[in-house]
Amino acid sequence: MNRPGWWRLDPCAPFALGPRTLPGRIWTASGCFGYGLHGHDIAAPDLATPYEGIGAVVTKTVTPQPRPGNPMPRLVELPFGAINSIGLENVGFAAFLRDVLPELEARGVPNVVSLAATRPAEFGTMAARLYEVGRGLRHWHGVELNLSCPNVAEGGHDFGSDPATVAACVAAARPHLPDRILVAKLTPNVAQIAPLAAAAAQAGCDAVAAINTVVGLDVDTASGRPVLPRRFGGYSGLAIQPIALAKVDEIVREVGVPVVGVGGIVDARDALKFFALGCVAVQVGTAQMRDPFAAARLAAELRR
């Protein structure tokens, strides 16, 4: 790919975001590269490791307690993306701190830890404990708050769609992360995303990640039933890129908070669209599940 004349950045060069200097601008999206520990034993003809050029691995989302996830099937590939209802399957916060975080440090994987909870106060509790355990770790750069999860305190709706609750979640975590970045990952399933970004920025986040998956449903024509047992899922992949670009543009123009772009990024040309709109970094998601070297190849292509 011939880079456009306006592109002057090295995506693999360190850059400042909030209180940290991140190793690069190409990240992997939460849930799309596991916890970031499973790429060390594979290689490709053009790359020695899938971590080459990666600025951060955003870990699989961690919750206060272990979760087994939703019934199978919970990930279905579609022609232009994938639909999932994973149910936040994870080892739980205690096991993550004990087993995963030290291993990420030992292997030198730059990481941002994705956290989810069902009440704003829980984000503060988790952030405080994470900082207590990880404050001396060089490769742990911060936290991404997964704000598309049910709020049991308010009837189970997606509390990521409420600016006041977004602000409460960010405000709960911010004091406990004095020298780490705090990113709020925003839902696109709202008419306007700028109020969510503004609430997160005012509460003290260093950046917002936009966007999370789009609510979707697909049907198995053989049975006449939805392909996922829970009917609805999160749709991701190339097809949602125009939605992501529109939401990113809305945030950049109306709020001005740093944006990490997510949604339908497959190759370097896709990433450039997000950078053109003003993103400070991008995350590779569904493409990374198909090819664990996708983000590394994208970084190498931009760097050339």
pLDDT digits (tens, 9 = 90+) for 242-295: 999 999 999 999 999 999 999 999 999 999 999 999 999 999 999 999 999 999
Specify the pTM.
0.96
Number of domains making up the chain:
1
Establish if 25 belongs to a structural domain.
yes
Mean pLDDT of the chain: 94
Q: What pLDDT is recorded for position 155?
A: 41
d(CA 172, CA 15): 26
pLDDT digits (tens, 9 = 90+) for 60-119: 999 999 999 999 999 999 999 999 999 999 999 999 999 999 999 999 999 999 999 989
Q: What pLDDT is recorded for position 3?
A: 76
Establish if 2 belongs to a structural domain.
no
**Taking 90 as the threshold, does the pLDDT of residue 224 lie above it?**
yes
Compute how many other C-beta atoms are within 10 angstroms of the C-beta atom of residue 225: 11
Asked which of 52-61, 140-149, 174-183, 193-202 is least confident by mean pLDDT, the reply is 140-149
**Taking 80 as the threshold, does the pLDDT of residue 157 lie above it?**
no
Q: Among 57, 36, 154, 180, which Cα is nearest to 112's?
A: 57
Q: What pLDDT is recorded for position 159?
A: 72
* Parent domain of 66: 15-303
**What's the average model confidence in pLDDT over 13-38?**
97
d(CA 17, CA 171): 18
Q: What pLDDT is recorded for position 158?
A: 65
Catalytic residues: 149
Establish if 69 belongs to a structural domain.
yes
Q: What is the CATH number of the domain that holds 55?
A: 3.20.20.70
**Taking 80 as the threshold, does the pLDDT of residue 186 lie above it?**
yes
Percent of the residues in the chain that have a pLDDT greater than 70, as a whole number? 96
φ, ψ of residue 83 to 5 degrees: the values are: -120, 135
Establish if 7 belongs to a structural domain.
no
Percent of the residues in the chain that have a pLDDT greater than 90, as a whole number? 90
Establish if 39 belongs to a structural domain.
yes
Q: Which residue has the higher pLDDT, 295 or 1?
A: 295
d(CA 38, CA 59): 12
Establish if 216 belongs to a structural domain.
yes
Three-state helix/strand/coil letters over the chain = CCCCCCCCCCCCCCEEECCEEECCCEEECCCCCCCCCCCCCCCECCECCCCCCCCEEECCCECCCCECCCCCCCEEEECCEEEECCCCCECCHHHHHHHHHHHHHHCCCCEEEEECCCCHHHHHHHHHHHHHHHCCCCCEEEEEEECCCECHHHCCCEHHHCHHHHHHHHHHHHHHCCCCEEEEECCCCCCCCHHHHHHHHHHCCCEEEECCCEEECCEECCCCEECCCCCCEEEECHHHHHHHHHHHHHHHHHCCCCEEEECCCCCHHHHHHHHHCCCCEEEECHHHHHCCCHHHHHHHHHHC
- Residue 2: band (very low, low, confident or very high) from pLDDT cuts 50, 70, 90: confident
Establish if 4 belongs to a structural domain.
no
Establish if 220 belongs to a structural domain.
yes
